[in-house]
Structure 1
């Protein structure tokens, strides 16, 4: 041990923590856990909605294909009408 120097202030580190500090840390930990659980629930709900939106109903897929075919037919008709008359 070092001899005590009367000119130096006596400083000692202790591990005594007031109960209110411990209670504060615990309440913050509980609040963070509660908040994280709420965020997780909202994320899962949004993922479920996104999955529902990504699926295309079969009727809509058929309508899309039929519209594409009609558009192709219209393009061919317009191309024929724009050609100069042959043989007349």
Structure 2
């Protein structure tokens, strides 16, 4: 079975290390999962972005939402309490 890949490309893929971008993305995704679980799955990308800014990460709200979508994390929106008298 052939992979339809050049020999040099295969060996480069096999020996290359993780890039700094991939390591940063993994760290941010880990922190997103932590904050999402820590706040009972209620925080969405805006609030998680604010928490990441407080920790010192420079990341946009759109990036956080893309990462959350990739991890299949969706915030639970609770309905507002309304008094019903009748």
Between Structure 1 and Structure 2, which shows a larger proportion of helix residues?
Answer: 1
Say whether the fold is shared (TM-score over 0.5): no
With normalisation by structure 2, the TM-score equals 0.33
With normalisation by structure 1, the TM-score equals 0.33
Q: Which has the larger radius of gyration?
A: 1
